[in-house]
Structure 1
Amino acid sequence: MSILNVPSDAEATGLTAEIFADDIRSMGHVPSHTRALSLNPEAYVAWDSLTGAISSSLGVRRYELVTLAAAQAIGSDHCLLAHGKKALTVLPEDQLLAVARDFHDAGLSPAEVAMMDYAVKASTDAAAMTDDDSLALRELGFTDREIVDITLAAGARNYFSRVLLALAVDLDVPEGLSPALREALLAPPPARPSNSR
C-alpha cells in the first residue's frame, strides 16, 4: 500500500479535478494509479499525451500487445490488469487468455509475436539490443516508424510500470475481467530458452 497522501474526489481541484473527471467519465471511477500520479498533474497529462501519440500511430491492437508483453516482462500486475481490460476491445477473450499464458502459442501473426519478443527484450535486456533486433522487425514488414513506435510503447510501459511499482501503488482490478483472465494475466510468464527471440 502506498504511503502517498492522495486527494479524494471532493478534494481534487484544477487540473487534478479534470483528470479525475475524465477517469470517472471513461471508467466510472478514479483508479489508484491516477490518484498517485495526479500529485504531479502536469506530468500525468504529458504521459497521457505521449501514450496517445504512440498508440494512435502504432494502432490499438499492436500497442496493447506490446504493452502486455512489456508489462509481463517487468512483472507489473497493475499494467497487466489494466491493459488486459483494454485489450478486450481488440482481442476476443479466448485469444487474450492464450496471449497471457504464452503469446508464442496464441494464434498471433509472426510479426505480432516478433514485436512482443522485441518488447520483452527491450524490457529485460535493452543494453544487449543491436541493429539485428530492429532488422528482424523490418524483415517482417515493419516500417522504421513502426519499429520506433514499438520501441516507444515498450519504453513507455517500462517507465509507467516501474513508477507504480516503486511507489507501491495499490492494485486495482478492473471490472469486466473474468476470473480465468485475471488468473492468466497475473501468472508468471512461461520460461523460454535464453536464445529465443
Structure 2
Amino acid sequence: MTIIRTVEPADAAGEVGAIYAEDVASLGYVPSHTRVMATDPGALRAFEQLAGSIADGLGPRLYELVTLAAAKALRSEACLLAHGRRSRALFDDAQLARIARDHHDAGLSGSEVAAMDLAARLSTDAASIAEADTERLRAAGLTDRQVVDVVLAAALRNYYSRALLALAVPPDVPPDLPDDLRRALLDGLPGDGDPGSRASAR
C-alpha cells in the first residue's frame, strides 16, 4: 500500500478536483494511480499532454499495443488493467486476450508485432537496442515519426509504470473488466492473476 497521503474525492479542489472529475466522468470513480499522481498535478498534466501528442502520431490502436507491451514487460498490473480496459474499444475481448498472452499469435500486422517487440525490449534491456532493431520498424512500413513515437510511447510507459511501482500504488481492477480478460492481461505475473494479492504483499 502506498504511503502517499492522497486527497479524498470529496475534498478535492482546484486542479486536483478537475483531474478527479475527469476520471469520475470517464470511469465512474477515481483510481488509486490518479489519486497518487495528482499529488503533483502539473507533472500529471504534462504526462497527459505528452501521451496525447504521441498517441496522435501513432493512432490509438498502435499506441495502446505499444503501451500494453511495455506494461507487460514491466510487470505493471495497474497499467495493464487500465489500458486493457481502454483497449476494449479497439479490439474484441477474445483478440485482446490473445494479444495479452502472446502478441506474436494474435492476428496483428507485422508492423504492430515489431512495435510491441521493441517496446518490450526497451522496457527490459534498452542498452542492447541497436540500429537494426529500430530499422526493423521502418522495414515494416512505419514512418520516421511513427518510429520515434513508438519509442516515446514505450519510454513514457516506463516512466509512469515505474513511478507507480516505486510508490507502491495498489492496482485498481476496473469494475467493467471481465474476469477472463483480467486473467489474460495478468497472465504470467506473480499472484495467479489476482491483483489484490500482489497489492497486499507490497
User: TM range, normalised to the smaller chain?
Assistant: over 0.9
Cα distance, 1:111 vs structure 2: 1.2
Match of 1:85?
85
1:179 and 1:31 mapped to 2: Cα distance? 18
1:62 and 1:172 mapped to 2: Cα distance? 24
Which residue identity is paired with 1:11? D
**TM-score of the two chains, using structure 2 as the length reference:** 0.92
Moved more, 3-12 or 80-89: 3-12
Match of 1:39?
39
Cα distance, 1:10 vs structure 2: 1.8
Deviations along 1:127-175, whole A, 9 cap, x unmatched?
A: 1111111111101111100000000100000000000000001210012
1:146 and 1:163 mapped to 2: Cα distance? 25
1:82 and 1:99 mapped to 2: Cα distance? 15
Match of 2:176?
176
2:28 and 2:178 mapped to 1: Cα distance? 18
Match of 1:185?
185
Pairs within 5 Å for 1:32-181: 32-181=32-181
Of all paired residues, the percent bearing the same amino acid is 51
**Structure 2 SS opposite 1:36:** helix
In structure 2, list runs of 5 or more residues that go unmatched. Answer: 190-202
**Structure 2 SS opposite 1:125:** helix
Which residue identity is paired with 2:36? A
In structure 1, list runs of 5 or more residues that go unmatched. Answer: 190-197
1:127 and 1:111 mapped to 2: Cα distance? 22
Match of 1:4?
4
Which residue identity is paired with 2:97? L
Which residue identity is paired with 2:50? L
1:164 and 1:69 mapped to 2: Cα distance? 17
1:100 and 1:142 mapped to 2: Cα distance? 23
Which residue identity is paired with 1:159? Y
**Structure 1 SS opposite 2:164:** helix
How many residue pairs get aligned? The number is 189
1:77 and 1:170 mapped to 2: Cα distance? 9
Match of 2:26?
26
Match of 2:195?
none
1:46 and 1:111 mapped to 2: Cα distance? 29
Please, what is the CA RMSD of the aligned residues? Answer: 0.9
Deviations along 1:31-67, whole A, 9 cap, x unmatched?
A: 1000001110110111111111111111000000000
**Structure 2 SS opposite 1:170:** coil
Which residue identity is paired with 2:8? S
Which residue identity is paired with 1:29? Y
